[in-house]
Chain A
Amino acid sequence: MLKNKSQLSVEYLILTGFIIGIISVVLVVFLKVFASGSAQDAINAQKINDLGDDIVKKAKQVFYLGLYSKQNVEYDIPDNVEFMFILELTKSTGEKFYYFGIHAKDKEIKKHYFLSDVPIASDGTLVDVDEDDLSSLIPECSTATCKFYNFKGNLINPGKKVFKIETRLYGAEPKVAIVPSTY
């Protein structure tokens, strides 16, 4: 009777060990393939593309709705954003280009630029927004004049963030202001 019990427990131990071994191997393979950094990078890149594409699209809508039209938008900021800014690039010919830019840090720095069809800007006097010069990050700025509005601090921390998109006058020129919704 006792021997029977001991056989049973040894068999049980061996089986348990074997099953744990197989599960561990499968788990390691699964984590390496599916839950690795590259999968996370792809999700982050998708979030950034969604954010950038949508913000320039909304800016265009608001601009053509006329002066003082506004809209609040909410975006999920991924956890790898290093810089998020609005760039106004003026060529020597006087031609102006507006970009919404995001630099993300994965295994390497990934730069995403979303060209805006309408003039966009922000407000450097607000908390978490400044106008520091980031020309060194963009080679094209060496032959042009670049003005930046940088979103920083809490605005580029991961999570849901609400922005207000509003058509305002900057001097005499109407532009779409993208500012944190608290202002």
Chain B
Amino acid sequence: MYNKKAQLSVETMIIYGLVILFSLSVLGLLIYFGVLDLGSYLPDSCNIGGTGDLKCEEQKLSKTSDKFELGIRNTGQRPLKSLKVSVTDAASTHFTTLGPIVGTVGGTAISDLNPLSPGDVAVISVSAGGDVKPGKVLRGTLKTAYEYKDGVITQEASGTIRVKATD
């Protein structure tokens, strides 16, 4: 009686283990071959690392408008007289590289006469090249180059972006 019970529970556990192992393997294969993209369930994100001057707050990639757009806030304490952004799509899903894109504020390009004041948001908007695939995620890198209004050196910062293309 005890023997039978023991065998049954060991067999049950082994079967459970095998089923779990098999399920995980299938899941792993689906992810590996790109059938299942878990990253597409993550929220959009955009960050510019390595600088206390800029913060990427908005991101959009749209098929209808064929536009790639970013909103970058000046979180530093000095106005900026130039801001340029380049975007690289790591998997070349939608495009290869865009830019350098000149940032605008109030609809006009950022310049010495129209600087990006501390706290303001610069709009980065550019044509995405006509090959946006809705539902697919853009994973890539951002490279920014900016200059303080009273400065002479071009500062650089790079970051990452993940945004799901919309219709």
User: Which A positions have Cβ atoms within 8 angstroms of B?
Assistant: 3-4, 7, 10-11, 14-15, 18, 38, 41-42, 45-46, 49, 53, 89, 91, 97, 99, 104, 108, 110-113, 115, 138-140, 144
B4-22 vs A, CB cutoff 8 Å, 1 = contact: the mask equals 0010011001100100000
Name 18 A/B residue pairs within 8 A (Cβ), A-sorted: A3-B2, A3-B3, A7-B6, A14-B10, A14-B14, A15-B13, A18-B17, A45-B50, A45-B51, A53-B52, A89-B153, A97-B153, A99-B153, A112-B155, A115-B148, A115-B150, A140-B152, A140-B153
Indicate if B154 sits at the interface (CB-CB under 8 A): yes
Number of interface residues of B (CB under 8 A): 23
Interface majority SS on A: helix, strand, loop or mixed? helix
**B153 neighbours in A (Cβ, 8 Å):** 89, 97, 99, 113, 115, 138, 140
Number of A-B residue pairs having CB atoms within 8 Å of each other in the complex:
63
> Taking the nearest CB of chain A, how far is it from the CB of B105, in angstroms?
20
> Across the interface, do A42 and B150 meet the contact criterion of CB distance under 8 Å?
no
- Contact, CB under 8 Å: A49 / B52: yes
In chain A, what residue has the closest Cβ to B17?
A18
| CA A53 to CA B51, docked complex, whole Å | 11
CB-based closest 7 A-B pairs: A7-B6, A49-B52, A45-B50, A115-B151, A110-B50, A113-B153, A97-B152
B2's contact among A4, A45, A139, by CB below 8 Å, is which?
Answer: A4
